[in-house]
């Protein structure tokens, strides 16, 4: 673990890509199995265990340090893991000792007593030591170096080596990783404390970053694999291809790289490939982009999936559906499996289609997180895959090809599948950004037709972009539709969770409608985010000063025509909902602005929302 | 004499002459010019010109020019002469470790501080009361200077440069091994080690030699004089060369020591793909290292770390601790939690030599 920590430490400071590679390769060369394999897993994000909460780490350090010293140190260092790693004192530290039973020095009437005490600590014969230093004009003049070298000076070497002497050896990375996988929550603090005792400063830092899941060292999975490939002068692409079939600690892989074993074959017939993600495009980006370099498609409001099929050793077709994080979700969608009857890997969107029409996300949601997938559910919510990329065609990996070529493969593949449950996501013809903007504003008229409800924007993909894992710069862009916006009135507030638990940060808001008692506010949604920290403080203050009633954790906040707070709420979509008093439900509502300037009476009315709902359906 | 009368906070005590009732603050008192010893008629490490100065060590924030008479170790006097020229003071007097001198009503005695060559702690005694002004010190082993010595006293005056429990310097030899491992891994690159010219640089070289590194070590011109001086005092540093005049390609695989500032300016362009290292106790804190753009932080310090400060305070047996410069709050808090009287002296003018080392203009391009 200390060696791995050293690597992470060095990588954190090294800016050059090639130098990073050299450092990682050197580590792989010097480190035995299985440690280097777990290191490779850590660097590629392939480790999985439950992360410890920062609060736990804080509690542990609070138990063994003086809170004042901790506070000063944390202020100085600015990072919890690092502060703890540096302050940690082995075996419980001296805090308890300093509070309990450590006597304050007794005032003595003569200095002699204290002097003898420290003289005993420092050197067996004080006068001798003094005598020696007297005779030494040059510090290196022989005899002064040896014994005349009292208490404090030995602290580095004496104290520290004796500690090492008594301690068990520090844990290996393998030990840490395998233990964390199975360790129960209640055993975690004790185990962590033991490891922290055994590791050095850098080791403790790396351990804490690892267990809290906060290891950010600017290394891509690709870079780590490239470094491994360099160990055997192999092409990193070869590792990329076999990667889905490999698992930590990658013994086979290292054996092959070192020429001690055969090339590992990818035995998983339907492996997951890390997905490629898009950046949100900003207005300013368009100026630098040429429309001719891009292909545009609709951005569907469904679930991104990877549908993979391949033949196992016995020649049987195996099909799997993965979420974009690589989670196997095949069991939730058995109705799609028969459609995946050709070997290949499709990147696409999971949707619900009824009579050829894409349903909204609210409908699709009925299929999610179900324990049992009943025949009725499958019949009422028929699942569909809309394909937009092809990563593998039979045995061929297509990921290195430019998008425009993959698209051609995809079109042929979908045609060959001839399956009603799988179709192509159409491209949008455009020759200028203005044309595309018009399409995005009105998908129904730009080819999306009756499926326009399920369009949440436009995707832009460079024609020449290979399929790269992660979120590579400048390759794929998402251009979402403008969110809907209304002005609503804050009605109730509730305390948040975690970091926000001391603030009123969950807000229920409403719009005006005519009721039996005249004009009244009806709640239309709840929002937890969208505001800045500064705005959170402002709203929190407002809530506390304007509470009219308290019900448990909920505060009623004043909401009269002339008194109250207007929130500008942005949301992605609307759906009818019998469960809501207002009859509508918002998708992704968030606070986009605080309208201190607006009296509540000028907030929007329910009719506005109903009109939006109609517009959406009519389009 | 160590009754309540010694407490800093003890306010009402019959005002008597210091001959019969001596309080620590009657012996040494912090004034704008520095720590002043009225009964002895001198200042310790004064930051303004004074008539008589007693100086702990040669770092420029402690050893300043323009005093009347200066009392210091021979090494400190020599370093002042190197830096300020022959007329840095009207008169000088050298004192050896362990030597005692009577000044006015007090006796002073020099003890090694282990900080840099010639660095001293100054014990000031008057009657039965002893105060030790330790200047800058470290309790870790350093092959280039006489080891620190614990001096029992009533009042211990300590620095607190690294006075936070996050500062643990570890073993300097391990840090040098880290440097050598990097040199081995990147033989085509130059390694540039930022190190304070007085003390740190020579210590790093000596540590390299202890690890068996026997290739020439290269120096920035600003370090030449002081490093040669170390050698003249018997500190063996092996083969040293100046970077000046070297071809870029010939610096591949070499180690060069330079003042910290030089490692971040255009001077570095003469090196092939340099790895920037920095030897300092500050390197323990990542944000600090990143802020400086350091690629290879080496935790090597000329000051005591937290454990060193606290162990030393305990070992002196002092009942009262005055904290001069650095992270005073934490160390004062620690002392108080141990039942020791403690206070910050709030002296200004001392600080972090490494952060403020100025390279003379004619040396900057050296
Ligand atoms: Zn100094
Ligand atoms: Zn200093």
| Tokens 């998402």 -> residue | A478
**What pLDDT score does B351 carry?**
67
Same domain, B263 and B178: yes
B contacts of A15 (beta carbons < 8 Å): 295
Determine, for residues A79 and B327 on separate chains, whether the beta-carbon distance falls below 8 Å.
no
Q: Which of A83, A115, A153 sits opposite B147 (nearest CB)?
A: A153
The neighbour count for residue A495, using CB atoms within 10 Å, is 17
- CB contacts under 8 A, B 318-337 vs A, are 318-319, 327, 329-330, 333-334, 337
Same domain, B226 and B310: no
For residue A502, what are its two tokens?
């001391």
Q: What are phi and psi of A547, to 5 degrees?
A: -75, 130
The domains of chain A, with CATH numbers, are 46-199 (no CATH), 279-480 (3.30.470.30), 484-618 (2.40.50.140)
Nearest to A569 by CA among A465, A446, A485: A485
**What pLDDT score does A149 carry?**
35
Task: Tell me if B128 is assigned to some domain.
Answer: yes
- Examine the fold and report which residue of B278, B298, B318 is the final residue of a domain before the chain moves on: B298
Same domain, B60 and B144: yes
Q: Which of B167, B233, B337 sits opposite A138 (nearest CB)?
A: B233
Task: Tell me if B362 is assigned to some domain.
Answer: no
* Cα B71 to ligand 1 centre (Å): 17
Compute the distance between CA of residue A330 and CA of residue A383 in angstroms, rounded to an integer.
Answer: 12
B contacts of A140 (beta carbons < 8 Å): 143-144, 233-236
Dihedral over Cα of B273, B275, B278, B283: its sign = positive
Task: Tell me if B87 is assigned to some domain.
Answer: yes
Which residues does A113 contact at the CB level (< 8 Å), separation at least 6? none
Determine, for residues A82 and B285 on separate chains, whether the beta-carbon distance falls below 8 Å.
yes
Q: In sequence order, what DSSP letters do the residues of B264-313 get, joined into one string?
A: GSGGGGGSSS-EEEEESGGGGSHHHHHHTT-SEEE---SS--HHHHHHHH
Same domain, B278 and B192: yes
The runs of H, that is alpha helices, within A2-159 are 2-13, 17-30, 35-44, 54-64, 67-77, 80-87, 95-99, 111-122, 126-134
Instruction: Please report, for the domain that includes residue B30, its CATH number.
Output: 3.60.15.10
Report CA-CA distances (Å) from A34 to A175, A192, A265, A297, A502: 10, 21, 20, 45, 45
**What pLDDT score does A534 carry?**
83
* Domain extent at residue B335: 4-166+303-357
B contacts of A65 (beta carbons < 8 Å): 165
Residue of A nearest to B162 (CA): A73
The neighbour count for residue A368, using CB atoms within 10 Å, is 12
Dihedral over Cα of A73, A78, A84, A85: its sign = negative
The answer to whether residue A299 is catalytic is: yes
* Cα B58 to ligand 2 centre (Å): 10
Q: What are phi and psi of B249, to 5 degrees?
A: -60, -30
Same domain, B218 and B263: yes
Compute the distance between CA of residue A445 and CA of residue A438 in angstroms, rounded to an integer.
Answer: 9
A contacts of B286 (beta carbons < 8 Å): 12, 77, 79, 82
Q: Which of B118, B315, B337 sits opposite A98 (nearest CB)?
A: B337
Determine, for residues A121 and B165 on separate chains, whether the beta-carbon distance falls below 8 Å.
no
- Residues paired with A594 in a beta bridge: A567
- Examine the fold and report which residue of B298, B319, B340 is the final residue of a domain before the chain moves on: B298
Determine, for residues B233 and A139 on separate chains, whether the beta-carbon distance falls below 8 Å.
yes
- CB contacts under 8 A, B 180-219 vs A, are 182, 185-186
Same domain, B138 and B35: yes
**What pLDDT score does A115 carry?**
35
Nearest to B278 by CA among B354, B335, B348: B354
* Cα B152 to ligand 1 centre (Å): 22
Compute the distance between CA of residue B321 and CA of residue B305 in angstroms, rounded to an integer.
Answer: 17
Average pLDDT per 10 consecutive residues for chain B, totaling 366 residues = 36 41 89 94 96 96 96 98 95 97 96 98 95 96 96 96 94 96 95 96 98 97 96 97 94 96 85 95 90 92 96 97 91 96 85 52 38
- CB contacts under 8 A, B 248-287 vs A, are 284-287
Q: How far is B281 from chain A (nearest CA, A)?
A: 13
Q: How far is B170 from chain A (nearest CA, A)?
A: 7
Q: In sequence order, what DSSP letters do the residues of B17-84 get, joined into one string?
A: -TTTS--HHHH-EEETTEEEETTTTEEES-SS--SEEE-S-SSTTTS-S-EEEEEE-HHHHHHHHHHH
Determine, for residues A114 and B339 on separate chains, whether the beta-carbon distance falls below 8 Å.
no
Same domain, B309 and B214: no
For chain B, the 3-state helix, strand and coil shares in percent, each to the nearest 5, are 30, 25, 45
Helix (H, G, I), strand (E, B) or coil at B140: coil
Same domain, B244 and B313: no
To the nearest 10°, the Cα dihedral for A523, A527, A532, A535? 30
Q: How far is B215 from chain A (nearest CA, A)?
A: 22
B contacts of A110 (beta carbons < 8 Å): 1-2, 128
Q: What are phi and psi of A363, to 5 degrees?
A: -70, -45
B363 touching A, CB under 8 A? no
A-B Cβ pairs (cutoff 8 Å, strict): 211
Complex ipTM value = 0.89
Same domain, B23 and B118: yes
For residue A326, what are its two tokens?
């690589």
* Cα B271 to ligand 2 centre (Å): 32
Same domain, B118 and B48: yes
**What pLDDT score does A44 carry?**
86
Determine, for residues B152 and A155 on separate chains, whether the beta-carbon distance falls below 8 Å.
no
Determine, for residues A87 and B147 on separate chains, whether the beta-carbon distance falls below 8 Å.
no
A contacts of B292 (beta carbons < 8 Å): none
Q: Which ligand is nearest to the CA of B138?
A: 1
Instruction: Please report, for the domain that includes residue B219, its CATH number.
Output: 3.40.50.10890
* Cα A147 to ligand 1 centre (Å): 25
The neighbour count for residue A531, using CB atoms within 10 Å, is 20
Q: Work out how many domains chain B is built from and give that number.
A: 2
Task: Tell me if B280 is assigned to some domain.
Answer: yes
Same domain, B144 and B190: no
Compute the distance between CA of residue A178 and CA of residue A155 in angstroms, rounded to an integer.
Answer: 36
Q: How far is A289 from chain B (nearest CA, A)?
A: 34
Same domain, B8 and B156: yes
Q: Which of B97, B152, B284 sits opposite A115 (nearest CB)?
A: B152
B165 touching A, CB under 8 A? yes
B83-100 CB burial, b ≥16 within 10 A, e <16: beeeebbeebebbebbee
- Examine the fold and report which residue of B251, B283, B298 is the final residue of a domain before the chain moves on: B298
Compute the distance between CA of residue B216 and CA of residue B228 in angstroms, rounded to an integer.
Answer: 15
For chain A, residues with pLDDT lower than 70 are: 91-167, 266, 482-483, 498-499, 614-619
**What pLDDT score does A92 carry?**
55
């Amino acid at each position: 673990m200390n060696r791995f920590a050293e690597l992470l430490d060095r990588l954190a400071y090294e800016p050059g890509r090639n130098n990073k590679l050299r450092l990682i390769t050197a580590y792989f060369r010097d480190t035995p199995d299985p440690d280097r394999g777990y290191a490779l897993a850590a660097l590629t994000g392939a480790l999985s265990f439950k992360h410890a909460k920062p609060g736990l780490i804080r509690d542990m350090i609070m138990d063994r340090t003086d809170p004042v010293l901790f506070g000063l140190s944390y202020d100085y260092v600015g990072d919890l893991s690092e502060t703890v790693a540096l302050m940690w004192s082995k075996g419980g530290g001296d805090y308890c000792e300093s509070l309990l039973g450590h006597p304050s020095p007794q005032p003595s009437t003569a200095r002699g007593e204290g002097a003898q005490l420290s003289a005993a600590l420092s050197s067996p014969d004080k006068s001798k030591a003094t005598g020696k230093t007297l005779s030494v004009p040059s510090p290196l003049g022989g005899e002064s170096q040896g014994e005349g070298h009292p208490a404090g000076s030995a602290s580095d070497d004496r104290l520290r080596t004796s500690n090492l002497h008594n301690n068990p050896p520090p844990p290996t990375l393998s030990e840490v990783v395998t233990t964390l996988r199975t360790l129960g929550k209640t055993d975690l603090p004790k185990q962590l404390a033991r490891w922290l005792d055994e590791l050095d400063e850098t080791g403790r830092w790396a351990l804490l970053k690892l267990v809290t899941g906060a290891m950010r060292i600017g290394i891509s999975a690709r870079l780590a694999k490239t470094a491994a490939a360099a160990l055997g002068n192999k092409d990193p692409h070869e590792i990329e291809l076999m990667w889905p079939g490999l698992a930590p600690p990658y013994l086979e892989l290292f054996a092959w790289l070192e020429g001690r074993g055969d090339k590992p074959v990818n035995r998983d017939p339907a492996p997951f490939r890390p997905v490629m993600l898009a950046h949100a495009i900003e207005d300013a980006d368009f100026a630098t982009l040429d429309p001719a370099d891009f292909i545009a498609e609709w951005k569907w409001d469904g679930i991104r999936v990877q549908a993979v099929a391949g033949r196992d050793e016995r020649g049987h077709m195996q099909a799997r559906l993965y979420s974009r994080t690589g989670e196997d979700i095949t069991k939730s969608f058995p109705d799609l499996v028969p459609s995946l009857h050709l070997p290949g890997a499709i990147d696409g969107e999971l949707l619900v289609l009824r009579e050829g029409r894409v349903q909204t996300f609210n409908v699709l949601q009925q299929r999610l997180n179900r324990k049992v997938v009943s025949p009725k559910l499958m019949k009422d919510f028929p699942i569909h895959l809309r394909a937009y990329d092809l990563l593998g065609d039979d045995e061929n990996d297509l990921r290195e090809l430019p998008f425009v070529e993959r698209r051609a493969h995809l079109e042929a593949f979908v045609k060959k599948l001839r399956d009603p449950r799988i179709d192509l996501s159409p491209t949008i013809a455009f020759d200028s950004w203005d044309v595309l903007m018009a399409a995005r504003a009105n998908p129904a008229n730009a080819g999306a037709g009756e499926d326009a409800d399920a369009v949440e924007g436009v995707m832009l993909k460079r024609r020449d972009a290979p399929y790269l894992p992660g979120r590579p710069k400048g390759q794929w862009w998402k251009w979402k539709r403008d969110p809907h916006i209304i002005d609503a009135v804050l009605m109730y507030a509730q305390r948040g969770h975690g970091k926000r638990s001391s603030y009123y940060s969950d807000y229920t808001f409403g719009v005006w409608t005519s009721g039996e008692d005249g004009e009244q506010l009806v709640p239309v949604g709840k929002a937890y985010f969208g505001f800045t920290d500064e705005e959170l403080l402002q709203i929190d203050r407002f809530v506390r000063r304007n509470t009219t009633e308290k019900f448990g954790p909920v505060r009623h906040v004043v909401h009269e025509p002339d008194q109250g707070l207007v929130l500008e709420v942005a949301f992605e979509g609307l759906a009818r909902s019998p469960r809501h008093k207002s009859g509508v439900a918002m998708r992704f509502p968030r606070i986009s602005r605080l309208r201190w300037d607006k009296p509540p009476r000028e907030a929007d009315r329910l009719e506005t929302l109903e009109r939006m709902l109609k517009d959406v359906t009519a389009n | 004499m160590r009754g309540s009368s010694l407490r800093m906070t003890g306010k009402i005590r019959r005002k008597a002459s210091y001959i019969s009732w001596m309080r620590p603050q009657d012996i040494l008192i912090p004034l704008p010019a520095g720590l002043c010893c009225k009964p002895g008629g001198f200042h310790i490490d004064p930051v303004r010109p004074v008539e008589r100065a007693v100086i702990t060590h040669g770092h420029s924030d402690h050893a300043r020019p323009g005093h009347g008479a200066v009392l210091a170790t021979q090494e400190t006097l020599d370093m002042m002469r190197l830096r300020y020229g022959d007329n840095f003071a009207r008169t000088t007097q050298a004192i050896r470790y362990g030597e005692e001198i009577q000044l006015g009503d007090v006796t002073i005695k020099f003890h090694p501080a282990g900080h840099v060559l010639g660095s001293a702690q100054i014990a000031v005694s008057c009657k039965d009361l002893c105060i030790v002004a330790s200047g800058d010190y470290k309790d870790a082993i350093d092959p280039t200077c006489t080891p620190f010595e614990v001096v029992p006293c009533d009042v211990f005056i300590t620095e607190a440069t690294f006075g936070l429990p996050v500062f643990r310097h570890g073993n300097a030899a391990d840090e040098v091994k880290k440097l050598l491992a990097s040199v081995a891994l990147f033989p085509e690159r130059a390694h540039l080690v930022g190190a304070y010219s007085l003390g740190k640089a020579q210590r790093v070289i000596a540590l390299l030699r202890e690890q068996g590194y026997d290739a020439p070590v290269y120096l920035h011109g600003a370090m030449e004089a002081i490093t040669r001086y170390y050698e003249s005092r018997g500190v063996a540093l092996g083969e040293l060369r100046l970077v000046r005049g070297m071809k870029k390609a010939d610096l591949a695989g070499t180690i060069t020591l330079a003042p910290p500032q030089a490692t971040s300016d255009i001077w570095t362009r003469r090196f092939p793909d340099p790895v920037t290292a920095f030897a300092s106790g500050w390197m323990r804190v990542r944000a600090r290292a990143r802020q400086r753009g350091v690629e290879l932080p080496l935790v090597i310090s000329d000051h005591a770390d937290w454990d060193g400060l606290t162990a030393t305070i305990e070992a002196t047996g002092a009942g009262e601790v005055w904290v001069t410069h650095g992270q005073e709050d934490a160390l004062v808090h620690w002392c108080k939690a141990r039942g020791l009287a403690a206070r910050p002296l709030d002296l200004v003018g001392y600080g972090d030599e490494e952060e403020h080392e100025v390279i003379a203009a004619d040396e900057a391009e050296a």
